[in-house]
Amino acid sequence: MADRILTTHVGSLPRPAELLRRMRAQSAGEHSNAEAIADLLAQSVAEVVARQVAAGIDIVSDGEFSKPSYAHYVSERLAGFSGSWKGSAAADLKALPQFAQRQIEIGAVVPSAGGSCCVADVERADSTALETDIANLRTAVAAGRPAGAFLNAASPGIVLAFHRNEHYPSEDAYIEAVAEALRPEYEAIAEAGFQVQIDAPDLAMSRHLTYSGLEDAGFLRIVERNVAVLNHATRNIAPEKMRMHVCWGNYSGPHNFDIAFEKIARAALSARPQTILIEGANPRHAHEWAVFEQVGLPEDKMLVPGVIDSTSNYVEHPELVAERLLRYADVVGRDRLAAGSDCGFATFSEVPTVWPDIVWMKLQAMVEGARIATDRLWRGS
């Protein structure tokens, strides 16, 4: 058991410009040297892990450098997907079309949540990309020696949100097939010795995206189904080897249609992963630490609230970070708490939500805030 507040984040970090350029060209079908790109990716992962360690981050990631986004990558690694669809717009952005258009123009919002279409049976296709991710992180961790490391993987439910079903007879059949196809990825990450981070915005964001036409009760049934499917897909992995991220969408918008955390908390907390990462810093969800006074944190869970916002270029003061951590510690206890970010800082590879240099300033503020909270919680100073 740690004798301090550990630090981590949700996963994605701003990609190096040269890596983005080369991957963009490769995706466009331009002639490229695959070996050179692979070498650049490995080097970039090594550098970003080293930088996280230098900044004081305890549980690090590969920055999701190999992926176009946390959900779109699955169509590159699973068979059964083809074409594209526009996707659904978030309810708060649909209600303010001129604002939404402006946000798109300045790069603060991705135009839609669309992806590819499921047109055939979803199956595991090629494990090469995953094996590369594991090998790159393993090498980087061996050099940087962080306290721990994780790799991100999409939840079955978020795949449904981004990739439209045009093949299976029902949504239930589709999500079950997706879960079974993702199961080897989850298991491979855990077997490699890393924590598996299940990215599950479907448990919150989908309320004002895919399922905006439902009442809350109907959406809660979707959440319960998605958690049950995820639990089955991870049945062979020990809970302590998993973490799960729940969020309401990593974009700059009013978020006034976000479902309250208290309405989904019990269902979300019934997921098997031991560590739960939630938003706790942005103005729409910073107050929801109080939910744990009502529902409690299950005895077998760890909580990682966001104590730095992932959509604002404000750098949080370390004292504010500490204040947020102390508030959660009062409710769930210091020994089941770590510091994290609300979401990733480059959810979509081409659209970092925070200026890259500022990302590192925010992470350093989080580390300093965790030190302050540690002093007060363990040493009373």
pLDDT in tens, 3-43: 999 999 999 999 999 999 988 888 777 777 888 999 999 99
The neighbouring-strand residues paired with 78 are 124
Look at residue 349 in the predicted model and tell me its pLDDT: 78
User: Model confidence over 43-73: pLDDT tens digits?
Assistant: 999 999 999 999 999 999 999 999 989 988 9
The owner of tokens 């699973």 is: 78
- Whether the pLDDT of residue 140 is over 80: the answer is yes
pLDDT, residue 107, reads 73
- For residue 381, is pLDDT > 70? no
- Would the pLDDT of 259 be above 70? yes
* C-alpha dist (Å) from residue 88 to 85, 208, 210: 9, 9, 6
Strands across the sheet containing 164-165 = 78-82, 117-124, 164-165
Please enumerate in sequence order all residues whose Cβ is within 8 A of that of 36, keeping only pairs 6 or more positions apart, or say none: 22
pLDDT greater than 80 at residue 112: no
Residue closest to 109 by CA, chosen among 119, 123, 99, 122: 99
The residue to which tokens 């855990």 are assigned:
190
Hey, CA dihedral for 6, 192, 68, 140, is it positive or negative?
positive
CATH architecture designation of domain 6-378: Alpha-Beta Barrel (3.20)
Q: In this predicted structure, what is the pLDDT of residue 46?
A: 98
Write down the pLDDT at residue 113. 64
| pLDDT higher than threshold 90 for residue 85 | no
- Cα 222 off chain centre by: 20
- Give residue 203's identity as a one-letter amino acid code: L
pLDDT of residue 374: 98
Beta-bridge partners for 275: 243, 302
CA distance 324 to 154: 28
Q: Residue 136 corresponds to which tokens in the numbers above?
A: 């790159």
In whole angstroms, give the CA distance from residue 145 to residue 323: 29
Using alpha carbons, select from 377, 361, 250 the residue that is nearest to residue 316. 361
* pLDDT at residue 80, as a whole number: 97
Report the DSSP beta bridge partners of residue 302: 275
Cα–Cα distance, 162 to 209 (Å, whole number)? 10
pLDDT-wise least confident of 110-119, 204-213, 215-224 = 110-119
Q: How far is CA 40 from CA 19, 124, 152, 338, 339, in A?
A: 7, 26, 20, 32, 30
Digit-coded pLDDT (tens) for 303-359: 999 999 999 999 999 999 999 999 999 999 999 999 999 999 998 877 788 999 999
Which percentage of the chain shows pLDDT scores above 70? 98
Confidence label for 296 from pLDDT (cuts 50, 70 and 90): very high
Tell me the helices (H) and strands (E) count for the chain, helix number first: 13, 11
Q: What is the pLDDT of residues 190-216, one digit of tens each?
A: 999 999 999 999 999 999 999 999 999
User: What secondary structure letter does DSSP report for 69?
Assistant: B
- What is the token pair recorded at 246? 């729940």
Cα–Cα distance for residue pair 181/228, rounded to 1 Å: 16
The DSSP letter of residue 203 is G
Distance, CA of 279 to CA of 111 (rounded, Å): 23
